[in-house]
Amino acid sequence: MPRSVSALVCAAALTLGTAAAATPTPRVAAAPRVHVVYPGQTLAMIAKRYNVTVDALCKANGITPKSAIRPKQRLMLPARDGDVVPASLDKPVLDDPKSKSGKADKADKADKADKGQRGKREAADDKPAKGKKGAVLSLQSYTGSWRGQVYKNGKVTDAARTGIEKVLAAWRTGQHQPINDRLIRMLVRVSAHFGGKPIRVVSGFRPYTPNQYTPHSRHNSGHAVDFSIPGVRNSELRDYCRTLANVGCGYYPNSSFVHLDVRETSAHWVDFSGPGQAPRYADAQGRDPGAEGEREEPAAGAGDGSNDDEQTFEPDAI
């Protein structure tokens, strides 16, 4: 072979090799990730699980941080750093303009109806219970006790607020925090439902600490209480609290209390953790994810890390 031809062949091979080396290996697009919501989850819990922000999760699903999610709902997970979003997911989905307005109208009407029903239920729950027992509340805790008339002309009295605030003070430090009026009204209704029996407070207000399990616990703002009623099973308390409007109800089978808080949308959950342990929420089947055997317990809602500050009471301690 002539030298000139050989040189040309070598040069061409060298050029092709250099081009191949310079061309980056195509990255395979990450498969779209979908999460199926199970009972008890919130947007914050799901975002934390996948190491994404709540805003990113909402943007990926066309919802807002205040949107309600339901069990078995499928949520598209946003891409993380290093993921390649498939082209099909990168393109906006075009809606049929004719059906879009109709769907939007129906959604708006359904949302308004739902809000109206929640408002009616909340107003009914907030209304002072009829009868003497419904207006008298008896509370006990390590920080003190209080018993008295809660309402005057349908409003919570200043004397009741002061007394309740004392009993729900932080048991470690004695620090006080104004207790939300709706929470007070819920406690009155719970007590009245069970015959006016005294409520034994396990934990009320808790000042924020960096190492608490739930970063935004409602205990930190006087919107939550962990309690029991002597002579009443916690499962009975749980069942009644779940009938109240716009509350969070946590059931702790391995602890001595039921959690109750006030919020915009009701949430119910089961937490199998014991005193001082990190939350261990029930799985989608309502079972303890940390137990060797299966334990059938109902599951629902979003937790509040109540066990990180539980007091242990003897039956006659208070």
| Residue 163 CB contacts under 8 Å (≥ 6 apart), including other chains | 139, 146, 148
Q: For residue 153, is pLDDT > 50?
A: yes
Domain range annotation of the chain:
28-89, 132-309
Residue 262 phi, psi (nearest 5): -110, 140
- Residue-wise pLDDT tens digits, 189-220: 999 999 999 999 999 999 998 888 888 899 99
**Residues belonging to the chain:** 318
Token code pair at residue 123: 């107003």
- Is the confidence at residue 45, as pLDDT, over 90? no
Mean pLDDT taken over the chain: 76
pLDDT at 295 over 50: no
Cα–Cα distance measured from residue 278 to residue 100, given in angstroms and rounded to the nearest whole number: 45
Q: Average pLDDT for residues 34-59, to the nearest whole number?
A: 84
Q: What pLDDT does 91 receive?
A: 41
Among 309, 287, 305, 308, residue whose Cα is nearest residue 296: 287
Which pLDDT score, from 0 to 100, does residue 205 have?
96
Question: How confident is residue 71, by pLDDT bands cut at 50, 70 and 90?
Answer: confident
Joined together, the tokens standing for residue 233 give 């099973």
Q: Is the pLDDT of residue 253 over 60?
A: yes
Chain centroid to Cα 138, Å, comes to 29
Q: What is the DSSP letter of 197?
A: P
Give me the half-sphere count of Cα atoms (radius 13 Å) on the Cβ side of residue 246: 21
Query: Other C-beta atoms within 10 Å of 155: how many?
Result: 11
- Residue with structure tokens 């009295």? 157
Whole-number Cα distances in Å, 32 to 49, 61, 90, 251: 16, 12, 11, 35
* pLDDT 10s digits, 96-117: 455 445 555 555 555 555 555 5
Q: What architecture is the 28-89 domain classified under in CATH?
A: Roll (3.10)
211 burial via Cβ count (<10 Å: 0-12, 13-18, 19+): exposed
pTM attached to this predicted model: 0.57
C-beta neighbour count of 161 within 10 angstroms? 15
By CB atoms closer than 10 A (0-12, 13-18, 19+), residue 224 is buried
